[in-house]
């Protein structure tokens, strides 16, 4: 098209009026290239196009219109004779077969395991913490060790309390505690686990204070969130040391989950390092699993003994058992029965002797009373004779 370069060219605005000025003004309408300078200047690329513009403007033959049909060319084409091309055109070249091979290569079938592999790789990358710096990575994993130790110890001690002690195996007895010692160790672990959890929750809240102190520019929304987390975290954590162990662990588990949500949102908003969300996810998963194991282990104490009340279980825990496990309990039971039988005989014999003694004393009293009564009657008779 000729109209487009004429309309878009700035050079036409510097041409003096010519006989074909009407054509120029018709095509040289204001466009996106028009600039409001009092004296337009030629750019380097336009200077080379100026002769072509003059040639088009001064041409006596009008340019072809894109929407106009060239009838002469159509007549020439209609008078031409079609050439035979049997190698290309045949009776069956324009007929499509019912079954034919595809002209394009079939698309690759999607791998069924590709999605699963991608998910597995995502989980691996998350738990690998490749983007986390080495120092917080090592210290964070080390911080979960007290939770893991206390949780596993709780499970072992609960199993110990549910097992009859001493057992028939001397090997097992060498590793197990008696019920009193197991209960003491279990009560000893309670304040350690709850207190350590309160310290960690307070530390997670204090991290946001440090992040806010490191900012060069203060934002009200960000500062309120960070300072609020730093205050609420210890306010929720430390009262748990006065709660029962089950309620304390449950409350701390909820606090860890809420803090993880807050930290992930802070990472999304750019208020925390980009690796902090995945780092907190892994540590929260480890701590949450440890707390769940502790709760399950404590719930298993006394399970399978539905008829055993809490007081009976406490008596069982406090009961002292002799460490000798090689005694013949059948003989001991037989001896105990004989001893009880002998005690009953002795008790019956003692009662009979006491009854006989009581009867003898009563008879003596009766004889004494008779003697005293006879003496009194003699004295009364003598007194009457004297009168």
| pLDDT score for 250 | 94
- What global pTM score does this model have? 0.48
Residue 179: Cβ-neighbour burial (10 angstroms; 0-12, 13-18, 19+): buried
Percentage, residues of the chain above pLDDT 70: 69
Q: Is 148 helix (H, G, I), strand (E, B) or coil?
A: helix
* Closest of 46, 9, 7 to residue 27, by C-alpha: 7
| pLDDT score for 177 | 80
Task: Provide the sign of the torsion angle of the four alpha carbons 336, 337, 341, 344, taken in this order.
Answer: positive
The answer to whether the beta carbons of residues 57 and 15 sit under 8 Å apart is yes
CA 239 to chain centre: 23
Percentage, residues of the chain above pLDDT 90: 20
The answer to whether the beta carbons of residues 142 and 196 sit under 8 Å apart is no
DSSP letter at 98 equals S
Ramachandran angles phi, psi of 322, nearest 5°: -65, 140
pLDDT at residue 174 is higher than 70: yes
The pair of three-digit structure tokens given for residue 203, joined into one six-digit string: 């530390």
pLDDT: which is higher, 237 or 83: 237
As a whole number of angstroms, the distance between CA 57 and CA 21 comes to: 9
The pair of three-digit structure tokens given for residue 14, joined into one six-digit string: 């510097």
E strand map for the chain = none
As a whole number of angstroms, the distance between CA 129 and CA 35 comes to: 57
* Closest of 263, 242, 259, 250 to residue 299, by C-alpha: 250
CA distances from 246 to 196, 251, 283, 293 (A): 15, 9, 21, 12
* Mean pLDDT score of the chain: 76
As a whole number of angstroms, the distance between CA 273 and CA 56 comes to: 65
As a whole number of angstroms, the distance between CA 249 and CA 292 comes to: 9
| pLDDT score for 207 | 92
The answer to whether the beta carbons of residues 182 and 161 sit under 8 Å apart is yes
The three-point CA angle 216-219-225 to 5° equals: 115
- The pLDDT tens digits for 355-378 are 888 888 888 888 888 777 777 777
The answer to whether the beta carbons of residues 183 and 326 sit under 8 Å apart is no
The answer to whether the beta carbons of residues 29 and 7 sit under 8 Å apart is yes
- The pLDDT tens digits for 180-230 are 888 888 888 889 999 999 999 999 999 999 988 888 888 888 898 889 999
* Closest of 95, 92, 3 to residue 53, by C-alpha: 3
pLDDT at residue 49 is higher than 80: no
Alpha helices, DSSP H, located in 238-328: 245-268, 276-299, 310-318
In which residue are the tokens 């208020």 written?
271
The pair of three-digit structure tokens given for residue 135, joined into one six-digit string: 């120092």
Query: How many CB atoms are located within 10 Å of the residue 12 CB?
Result: 21
């Amino acid at each position: 098209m000729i109209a487009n370069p004429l309309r878009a060219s700035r050079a036409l605005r510097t041409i003096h009026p010519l006989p074909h000025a009407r054509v120029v003004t018709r095509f040289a309408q204001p466009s996106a290239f028009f600039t409001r300078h009092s004296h337009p200047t030629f750019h380097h690329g336009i200077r080379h196009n100026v002769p072509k513009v003059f040639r088009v403007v001064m041409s006596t033959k009008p340019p072809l219109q894109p929407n106009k049909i060239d009838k002469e060319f159509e007549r020439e084409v209609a008078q031409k004779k079609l050439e035979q091309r049997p190698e290309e055109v045949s009776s069956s070249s324009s007929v499509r077969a019912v079954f034919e091979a595809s002209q394009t290569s079939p698309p690759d079938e999607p791998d069924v395991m590709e999605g699963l592999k991608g998910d597995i790789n995502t989980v691996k990358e998350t738990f690998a913490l490749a983007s986390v710096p080495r120092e917080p990575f090592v210290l964070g994993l080390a911080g979960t060790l007290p939770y893991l130790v206390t949780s596993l110890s709780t499970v072992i001690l609960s199993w110990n309390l549910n097992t009859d002690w001493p057992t028939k195996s001397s090997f097992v007895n060498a590793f197990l505690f008696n019920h009193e010692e197991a209960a003491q160790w279990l009560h000893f672990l309670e304040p350690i686990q709850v207190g350590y959890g309160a310290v960690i929750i307070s530390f997670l809240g204090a991290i946001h204070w440090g992040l806010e102190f490191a900012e060069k520019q203060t934002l009200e929304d960000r500062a309120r969130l960070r300072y609020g987390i730093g205050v609420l975290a210890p306010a929720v954590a430390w009262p748990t040391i006065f709660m029962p162990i089950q309620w304390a662990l449950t409350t701390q588990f909820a606090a860890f989950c809420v803090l993880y949500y807050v930290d992930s949102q802070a990472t999304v908003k750019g208020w925390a390092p980009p690796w902090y969300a995945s780092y907190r996810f892994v540590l929260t998963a480890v701590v949450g699993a440890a707390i769940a194991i502790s709760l399950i282990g404590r719930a298993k104490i006394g399970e399978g003994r539905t008829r055993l009340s809490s007081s009976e279980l406490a008596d069982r825990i406090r009961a002292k058992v002799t460490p000798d496990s090689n005694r013949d309990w059948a003989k001991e039971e037989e001896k105990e029965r004989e001893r009880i039988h002998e005690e009953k005989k002795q008790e019956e014999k003692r009662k009979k002797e006491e009854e006989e003694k009581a009867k003898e004393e009563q008879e003596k009293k009766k004889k004494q009373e008779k003697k005293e009564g006879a003496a009194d009657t003699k004295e009364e008779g003598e007194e009457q004779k004297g009168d």
